[in-house]
Amino acid sequence: MQTKTHYQLLGISPTADEAEIRRAYDVRMQQLAGSGSVQLEAVRKAHAVLADPIRRAVYDASLRNQDQGMVPPPEPVARRAGAGQRWLMVLAGVALLGAGLFWLSQRPKSAPKPVLPAATEPAIIVDGVAATPDEIAEANASIETRRNGLAQQKWSERTRLENRKSQLGTELAVMMMDGQRLPPDADQASIDYVERKRAALEHEIAWLKARLEEIDHVELPMAAKGELAPAKEYTPPSE
């Protein structure tokens, strides 16, 4: 049975953003409440990888490399031979087997040659995940694109909130002036309306200030950094 990807475990598409990943994780954890620890651990691991931009980029690159693998086509099935041909094939096979065994028995024994490991591209360890330099470069390109998009979103959201905060400040100033201009014999309903409006404006302004502070503390994803994996020591085969 084919192992599910992290996206399949959370029930989302590979293009899902951070908010969709978080919502899908919450839904899956509610659905698996009371289930086995294996399923919960798999969902937690999937969320931990996809919620981290660097680990997600490396994981996406490894998925693409797996998708590019080619499966060789099956060999064509030969026609069934007749009864006489089958006997001839059996006899020929027995004769070849006997000749091969005789040749092996007469061959002088020699020490086996050591099998050298194949030269491969050095692996890089990123957050405990092995990746090639090409995968790191591809991951960094993806991270740079996401970084630029998040920076644009951060600037747009901050501009919108600053404009709203300025507008509310103006409304609050006008409301304070209206409250001061109320006549001494103003009814209680008018006084209560002004107070409620002022409190609502002050509350929203406080919320906007807190939201702007949150945006200022949002960290953009950094490029993936890794170190070369330690080389494995060569061990000659035993005789």
Among 63, 61, 58, 60, CA closest to 128: 58
What values do phi and psi take at 219, rounded to 5?
-95, 135
Q: Give pLDDT tens digits for 2-57.
A: 688 999 999 999 999 999 999 999 998 898 877 777 888 999 999 999 999 999 99
What values do phi and psi take at 63, rounded to 5?
-65, -40
0.95 cut: is pTM over it?
A: no
Residue 111's pLDDT is what? 53
Give per-10-residue mean pLDDT for the chain (239 aa).
83 93 92 81 92 93 76 40 66 79 69 51 58 78 81 82 84 73 77 81 86 78 55 53
Q: Taken in order 170, 171, 174, 175, is the CA torsion positive or negative?
A: negative
CA distance 96 to 112: 25
| Alpha-helical segments (H) within the chain | 6-10, 18-31, 37-51, 53-67, 83-106, 133-180, 188-216
Please, what's the largest Cα pairwise distance for the chain? 124
CA distance 17 to 15: 6
Residue 190's pLDDT is what? 74
Burial, 46: exposed, middle or buried (Cβ in 10 Å; 0-12, 13-18, 19+)?
buried
| SS3 label, residue 130 | strand
Residue 196 CB neighbour total at 10 angstroms? 10
